[in-house]
């Protein structure tokens, strides 16, 4: 295990994707030996140590560069239980160092042209651009506050290339007319109702159509999951188009796991061209959670925050990631997932705020079964002014059986309290008991300040959703709105 990191290097260090000079090879070799021994450096060539409390985020098996995933826990990484969640350790150390604010900056995806090369080269080139050794002398002799400002600016220029220019500032959408029914309901202060449908594991659309029509009169929009649990299903894009064709507004879920930066930008343009207006950005489940044979398990090209940043720039600034102009921008309403059960409420609140800063206009949470934990999470969001900037929809679902309830505790980001399971066990009809507990939970959650809607995640039990909506007092005819 390297000296100054609580984790260990996930895989071997990168090698360059291009031929380099003998001097560059020597420099990279020295850096690999030094930083590998101290920080477990993978030689990504895009070093962020100064921003991540001197713990390398590339030790995360997903390669996330903007915070933990929705399955993070204080105990261990859900992908590899033999080691800690590296991002939990980053936040833990950053808090001790008084550097939590440094984790708010939206950091760029890897520049793969630099992988395997020395990050020292970027420092050297930037120093040359500032005037070389005379610039070092000016820095040394500057007033303390000026020295700090120049130091921060120097490293910002190194880690934030011209094509990214990430920051820690809010980037709300400019004033505009709502582009979707869901956005209109939320922008007018209404209480939104959405429901999630698991796409079929077949090419026959009949099952999807049946579920969509079942929910049509009850919800403002329908989400379509994107290969959840890393298991292939009909694509979210195809299901969203089917929903549009039968008059139901879709929310297109997009998992970073399966996207490259090129593919994502093309998919956004295509979705907008088809009339899909709501997009929910997710990091996605690791391939290890799915059935074998597993796909590539190396780091991912993007995370959810980077996807939000790219889509927001496409919409609001009219440019691609490579800075080319987009003449007809995609009109989309961007959302992100909330994780009330992961890591700690503070860490998740910081991550949710970062998503909103990057471009998220609404949040849909993961499943809630623990009311007290959700209240703690909601209070953490409110302290960071997240819920006033992005309406939050609470994720709700009953559970069909005690066996399913226990199994759900194995799903990253989901926590079913033992008291919930015991109440099901003691009932003559556990399935109905879970429905009643869900109705009780809805009644409490819908009264909480900061909750602006319900998101029904019925996990292949879509037929229960209309009953839950009607019996909870949320029912209304959506088709007339």
Q: What is the pTM of this model?
A: 0.95
Give the pLDDT of residue 10: 60
Cβ partners under 8 Å of residue 429, min gap 6: none
Mean per-residue pLDDT over the chain, rounded: 92
**Cα–Cα distance, 42 to 38 (Å, whole number):** 11
pLDDT tens-digit map of 272-294: 999 999 999 999 988 888 888 88
The DSSP bridge partners found for residue 250 are 222
Range with the poorest average pLDDT among 335-344, 395-404, 454-463: 454-463
Give the pLDDT of residue 476: 62
**Cα–Cα distance, 162 to 44 (Å, whole number):** 19
pLDDT of 479 higher than 60: no
The residue that leads in pLDDT, 192 or 39, is: 192
Tokens standing for residue 463: 């037929």
pLDDT of 481 higher than 50: no
Tokens standing for residue 322: 């490579």
Tokens standing for residue 140: 């040394």
pLDDT band at 8; cut points 50, 70, 90:
low
pLDDT of 36 higher than 70: yes
pLDDT tens-digit map of 359-378: 999 999 999 999 999 999 99
**Cα–Cα distance, 218 to 199 (Å, whole number):** 19
DSSP code per residue over 317-332: I-B-TTS-B-SS----
Q: How far is CA 272 from the centre of its chain?
A: 21
Convert 285-313 into a string of H (helix), E (strand) and C (coil). CCHHHCCCCCCCCCCCCCCHHHHHHHHHH
**Cα–Cα distance, 285 to 385 (Å, whole number):** 28
Q: What percent of the chain has pLDDT over 90?
A: 78
pLDDT band at 480; cut points 50, 70, 90:
very low
Give the pLDDT of residue 203: 96
pLDDT of 477 higher than 80: no
**Cα–Cα distance, 398 to 367 (Å, whole number):** 10
Within a 10 A sphere around the Cβ of 290, how many other Cβ atoms? Answer: 17
Sign of CA dihedral 282, 269, 393, 383: positive
pLDDT tens-digit map of 384-417: 999 999 999 999 999 999 999 999 998 888 999 9
The DSSP bridge partners found for residue 456 are 195, 396
pLDDT of 478 higher than 60: no
Give the pLDDT of residue 183: 98
Give the pLDDT of residue 292: 85
Give the pLDDT of residue 39: 86
pLDDT tens-digit map of 259-271: 999 999 999 999 9
């Amino acid at each position: 295990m390297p000296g100054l990191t609580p984790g260990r290097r996930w895989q071997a260090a990168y090698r360059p994707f291009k031929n380099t000079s003998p001097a560059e090879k020597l420099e990279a070799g020295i850096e690999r030996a030094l930083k590998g021994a101290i920080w477990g450096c993978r030689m990504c060539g895009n070093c962020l140590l100064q921003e991540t409390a001197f713990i390398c985020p590339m030790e995360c098996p997903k390669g996330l560069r903007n915070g933990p995933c929705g399955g993070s826990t204080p105990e261990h990484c859900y992908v590899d239980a033999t080691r800690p969640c590296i991002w939990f350790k980053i936040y833990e150390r950053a808090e001790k160092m008084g550097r939590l604010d440094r984790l708010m900056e939206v950091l760029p995806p890897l520049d793969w042209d630099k992988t395997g090369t020395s990050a020292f080269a970027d420092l050297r080139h930037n120093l040359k651009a500032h005037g070389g050794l005379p610039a070092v002398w000016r820095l040394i002799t500057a007033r303390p506050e000026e020295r700090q400002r120049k130091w921060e600016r120097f490293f910002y220029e190194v880690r934030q290339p011209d094509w990214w220019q990430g920051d820690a500032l809010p980037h709300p959408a400019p004033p505009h007319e709502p582009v979707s029914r869901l956005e209109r309901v939320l922008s007018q202060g209404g209480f939104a109702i959405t429901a999630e449908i698991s796409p079929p594991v077949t090419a026959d659309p009949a099952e999807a159509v049946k579920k969509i029509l079942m929910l049509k009169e009850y919800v403002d929009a329908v989400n379509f999951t994107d290969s959840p649990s890393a298991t292939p299903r009909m694509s979210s894009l195809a299901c969203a188009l089917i929903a549009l064709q039968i008059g139901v507004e879709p929310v297109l879920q997009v998992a970073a796991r399966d996207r490259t930066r090129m593919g994502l930008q093309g998919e956004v343009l295509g979705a907008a061209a088809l009339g899909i207006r709501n997009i929910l950005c997710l990091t996605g489940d690791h391939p290890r959670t799915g059935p074998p044979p597993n796909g590539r398990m190396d780091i991912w090209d993007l995370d959810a925050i980077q996807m939000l940043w790219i889509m927001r720039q496409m919409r609001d600034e009219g440019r691609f990631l490579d800075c080319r102009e987009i003449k007809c921008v995609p009109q989309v309403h961007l959302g992100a997932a909330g994780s009330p059960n992961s890591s700690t409420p503070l860490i998740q609140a910081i991550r949710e705020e970062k998503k909103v800063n990057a471009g998220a206009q609404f949040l849909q949470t993961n499943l809630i079964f623990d009311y007290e934990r959700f209240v703690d999470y909601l209070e953490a969001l409110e302290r960071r002014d997240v819920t006033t900037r992005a309406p939050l929809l609470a994720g709700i679902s009953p559970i069909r059986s005690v066996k399913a309830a226990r199994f759900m505790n194995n799903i990253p980001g989901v926590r079913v309290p033992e008291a919930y399971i015991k109440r099901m066990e003691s009932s003559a009809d556990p399935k109905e008991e879970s429905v009643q507990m869900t109705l009780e939970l809805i009644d409490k959650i819908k009264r909480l300040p900061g909750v602006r809607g319900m998101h029904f995640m019925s996990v292949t039990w879509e037929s229960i959703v209309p009953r839950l909506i009607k019996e909870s007092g949320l029912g209304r005819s959506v088709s007339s709105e």
